Chains A and B, each alone.
Chain A
Amino acid sequence: MTTTTLDFDTIKTQEYLVNMGPQHPSTHGVLRLVLKLEGEIVHNVDPVVGYIHSGIEKMCESLTYPQIPHLTDRMDYLSAHMNNEAVALCVENALQIEVPDRVKVIRTIMDELQRLASHQLWWCVMGMDMGALTTFFYGLRDRELILDIFEETCGARLTLNYSTPGGVMFDIHPNFQKRVKDFVKYFRAKLPEYNQLLSGNVIFRERTIGIGYLSKEDAIAWGVTGPSGRASGFACDVRKHHPYSAYDRVSFNEILRTEGDTYARYQARVDEMAESLDIIEQLIDNIPQGDHQVKMKGVIKLPEGEYYQRVETARGELGVFIVSDGKKNPYRVKFRSPGFSNLAALNHMSKGAKIADLVAIMSTLDLVIPDIDR
Chain B
Amino acid sequence: MKAIFHYVNDIIKGLSTLVSGMAVTGHYFFRPKLITTQQYPENRSTLKMKERFRGEVIMPHDTNNHHRCTGCGICEMNCPNGSIEIITKMIETPEGKKKKVIDKHIYHLGMCTLCNLCIKACPTGAIVMGQNFEHAVWDRSKLTKVLNQPGSEIMTEVKE
Contacts and interface: CB of A to CB of B under 8 A. Distances in A.
B115 interface: yes
A124 to B, nearest CB: 14
B96 interface: no
B36 A141 contact: yes
Interface residues of A, number: 31
A216 B23 CA distance: 38
Interface string A139-173: 00100100010011111100101000000011001
A152 B80 contact: no
B115 A70 contact: yes
A95 interface: no
A55 interface: no
A200 B20 contact: yes
Contacts of A144: 36
Contact of A155 (B17, B53, B113, B117): B53
Contacts of B54: 155-156
B36 A202 contact: no
B24 interface: yes
Interface in B126-154: 129
Contact of B21 (A74, A156, A201): A201
B14 interface: yes
Contact of B50 (A66, A151, A159, A203): A151
B16 to A, nearest CB: 9
B120 interface: yes
A152 B21 contact: no
B36 A196 contact: no
B18 interface: yes
A198 interface: yes
B97 interface: no
A155 B129 contact: yes
Nearest to A205: B17
A144 B37 CA distance: 10
Contacts of B14: 202-203
17 contacts: A67-B78, A70-B80, A70-B115, A134-B21, A134-B25, A151-B52, A155-B50, A155-B52, A155-B53, A155-B116, A159-B113, A159-B115, A196-B20, A202-B13, A202-B15, A202-B18, A203-B14
What 10 pairs across the A-B complex have the smallest Cβ distances?
A202-B14, A70-B115, A155-B52, A67-B80, A155-B54, A202-B17, A152-B50, A161-B115, A200-B17, A151-B50
Interface of B: 13-15, 17-18, 20-21, 23-25, 36, 49-50, 52-54, 78, 80, 113-117, 120, 129
Given A70-B117, A138-B24, A155-B116, 20 more contacts: A70-B80, A70-B115, A134-B25, A148-B50, A152-B50, A152-B52, A155-B50, A159-B113, A159-B115, A161-B115, A169-B116, A169-B120, A193-B24, A196-B20, A196-B24, A200-B20, A201-B17, A202-B13, A203-B14, A203-B18
